[in-house]
């Protein structure tokens, strides 16, 4: 599950990048909102929801997270002072759930928008905010709590 969660990050980031570029160009160049635009948005949402499911599984199942939960019930203050434990216990899950909710909001507002330009714009803004939140909430290898990249 951890390997899938780690790999799916790249697929999600790629899809979000595609959606952002397409919706930006779409609104700038006043392009129609096509079936393909909708498809990329849908695939992005599916990848985000899968990532949420895998993340929830990991949150309660890995040995590392079990040790974090044990520490939380013993001494929450100590967990809060430990950057790695705090990150995985609270920061990662909270930020990612908010980001995935923003992806959903963007798609809903885009679907409801009256014009094609507005559809592109809504999708662009909300996906961009979600992407920024995701990028700052990933345990990149260079961060204190970072995880090494898998060797493939």
User: Which residues of this chain interact with ligand HEM, rule CB under 6 A?
Assistant: 2, 5-6, 9, 12, 48, 51-52, 55-56, 58-59, 62, 64-65, 88, 92-93, 96-97, 99, 134, 138-139, 147, 150
Report, in Å, the least distance between residue 50 CB and ligand HEM. 9
Q: Give the nearer residue to ligand HEM in terms of CB position, either 85 or 119.
A: 85
Q: Give the nearer residue to ligand HEM in terms of CB position, either 118 or 138.
A: 138
Q: Report residue 13 as tokens.
A: 């980031």
- 48 touches 98 (CB < 8 A): no
The residue sitting closest to ligand HEM, measured at its beta carbon, is 55
Q: Give the nearer residue to ligand HEM in terms of CB position, either 114 or 150.
A: 150
Tracing tokens 């909430």 back to the chain, one arrives at 137
Distances (CA, A) of 116 to 28, 32, 99: 11, 6, 24
- 53 touches 94 (CB < 8 A): no
């Amino acid at each position: 599950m951890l390997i899938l969660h780690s790999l799916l990050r790249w697929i999600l980031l790629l899809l979000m990048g595609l959606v952002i570029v397409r919706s930006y160009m779409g609104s700038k160049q006043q392009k129609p909102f096509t079936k393909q635009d909708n498809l990329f948005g849908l695939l992005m949402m599916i990848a985000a929801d899968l990532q949420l499911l895998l993340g929830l599984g990991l949150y309660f199942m890995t040995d590392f997270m079990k040790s974090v939960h044990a520490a939380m019930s013993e001494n929450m203050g100590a967990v809060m002072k430990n950057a790695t434990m705090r990150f995985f216990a609270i920061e990662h899950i909270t930020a990612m759930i908010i980001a995935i909710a923003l992806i959903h909001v963007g798609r809903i507002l885009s679907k409801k928008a009256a014009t094609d330009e507005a559809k592109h714009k809504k999708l662009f803004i909300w996906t961009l905010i979600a992407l920024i939140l995701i990028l700052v909430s990933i345990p990149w290898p260079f961060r204190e709590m970072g995880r090494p990249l898998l060797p493939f």
